Structure 1
Amino acid sequence: MNETLQRWLTLSREELDDIYRKAKPGSIPQGDTQGTAILAGGPFPRLFATVARLLAWQGKVFDLFKPNFDSGVLVNKISPAGINLIAAKVYRDHSWMDGKDTIVIDYSKTSLFARQIRDEIREVEPGLYLGKVWWGNHRILDFALETNT
């Protein structure tokens, strides 16, 4: 696990929000990413991240559209087997957190199960993204994505 990501697991929600606000969107990831759920400020954050990865969510697989690779689709890797399920549209838009540019992962038109969910990600360092999960208008969780670069 990336050293920066290890540090994120020790931070409060407010500290993670500050990191997110300072980051630029960066490039939209392409291909397979490894995900880490972050329960900021919660009890046993490393244990939560490990259990979530083993039993529920391992990351996302992005497929971007040409010509400029500024939008596309993705699927989440779900279950202990990492089955590709729960599709979303990916595009650039304004963040619900601070109104600045971000990468949006939008499930509203692609998933009956997750239609209330919207993720936002920004690239904090090359290949490492910090994400925010919204359920309706409420933020519920943070997460990280690591690319294979």
Structure 2
Amino acid sequence: MKKLLLIALSFYVVPGFAALDAYEKKVSNGKVLFFKGPNLTAEQFSGMPYNRKPDPAWLENQTKPDAWRTMAKSLSPDDFKAMTQEELDQVYMRLSSGPILPGDYKGQAMMKGAMTSNIKNFILKKIHGVNLMQTMCGQRDIFECFMEFAWEGKRIYPADASTGEYLLRNAVSQSVAHTIKSVMAPAGKKLIDPSNWLLRTLSPFPGGLRYMIFPAHLYCGQSMMDHRRESIVADYAWGSDFSPFIIGLDDIFGRNFLNIREEIRMVRPGLYLGRVYAQKIFLFNFVLHNPVVEKQAQGGQWPADACFDGKSTR
């Protein structure tokens, strides 16, 4: 009995993250604290099983809130590109939702090898014209290539006056419409757009006119990465609730196809880190940045979270 109790306690008292090494990574305006396994590089540790990685609560306990905010203020959007997936995870786990601030946010997708070949094949089988897309992208990762070519960011619309609901749409390059049509044509597919809704979605965005497509409900919801506190969730399942909604295009992200769900947390006002899931499977990370919102918030108080922050005061 005593032996069994000691074995049970060993699983509880000696978690996989008990002997992690701290290290600092240089970023644009300072350094950020991370943790990794002993005698491993950051890249090697990123590929380790999750039961060998830090628990969110343990990780957050290693950094005081004021110290973390100083680190967060030192980050620029480009700093995330140089991080491993584990480093991005450790940043995300120390964030809270922040407020939902309407505006236009330039976006940047980051593929960090998170998608296995099986997941990629599952998604690619559902997309027509993959061979043509691969020809366009050459030897580059097809997902990263297409995201750079097509996706430019997100727009968060002000809350509806009657319902209080938020709407999010994705800003897509005008040239992508021609590519979509050429990709779908060999497969005998075409956009169902009898009212030219695609043209109706054209709207000014940083950099020029962009299509505002792939609508999503925006609300507070549980994070699939860190259950302690809520994230801002972009839910595409019922994007058809919004008009315009383009059959054959907007429904790609919807409940009957990829069923995309994104979760977003604030690094600092105007800068957000997000995660993309399809069919509840993690795909990749993204960064959203609005320099106008960022500048307006400089020198002011740290904004309150729109979503549950994990404290028991609610």
User: For this structure pair, what is the TM-score category when the shorter chain's length is used for normalisation?
Assistant: 0.7 to 0.9
SS in 2 for 1:112: helix
Q: Does 1:25 align with 2:154?
A: no
- For 2:271, give the aligned amino acid: L
Q: Considering fraction of residues, name the structure with more strand.
A: 1
Which position in structure 1 is the counterpart of 2:156?
62
After alignment, is 71-80 or 97-106 more displaced? 71-80
Deviation at 1:86, TM superposition (A): 0.7
- For 1:107, give the aligned amino acid: Y
Q: Does 1:106 align with 2:235?
A: yes
Show the 5 A alignment for 1:1-149.
Answer: 4-40=76-112, 48=144, 52-53=147-148, 55-65=149-159, 71-80=165-174, 82-99=210-227, 100-110=229-239, 111-115=250-254, 116-147=259-290, 148-149=292-293
- For 1:24, give the aligned amino acid: S
Counterpart contact for 1:120–1:131, Cα < 8 Å: yes
Task: With the length of structure 1 as denominator, give the TM-score of the two structures.
Answer: 0.84
Aligned residues: 142
Task: With the length of structure 2 as denominator, give the TM-score of the two structures.
Answer: 0.41
Within 2, Cα distance between the matches of 1:52 and 1:140? Answer: 12
Within 2, Cα distance between the matches of 1:31 and 1:4? Answer: 19
Deviation at 1:41, TM superposition (A): 5.3
**Alignment deviations for residues 28-70 of structure 1 (CA, whole Å, 9 cap, x no partner):** 131211111112258x99xx58x734x2100011113167xx7
SS in 1 for 2:82: coil
Within 2, Cα distance between the matches of 1:109 and 1:59? Answer: 20
Deviation at 1:146, TM superposition (A): 0.6
- For 1:130, give the aligned amino acid: L
- Using CA pairs under 8 Å that are at least 6 residues apart, name the structure with larger relative contact order, 1 or 2: 1
Within 2, Cα distance between the matches of 1:80 and 1:66? Answer: 27
> Structure 1: which 5+ residue stretches go unaligned?
none
Counterpart contact for 1:37–1:52, Cα < 8 Å: yes
Counterpart contact for 1:75–1:85, Cα < 8 Å: yes
Within 1, Cα distance between the matches of 2:99 and 2:88? Answer: 20
- For 2:263, give the aligned amino acid: E
Q: Percent identity?
A: 30
- For 2:86, give the aligned amino acid: E
Deviation at 1:94, TM superposition (A): 1.1
Structure label with greater radius of gyration: 2
**Alignment deviations for residues 54-98 of structure 1 (CA, whole Å, 9 cap, x no partner):** x2100011113167xx74001100125521111000001110111
- For 1:143, give the aligned amino acid: F
Q: Considering fraction of residues, name the structure with more helix.
A: 2
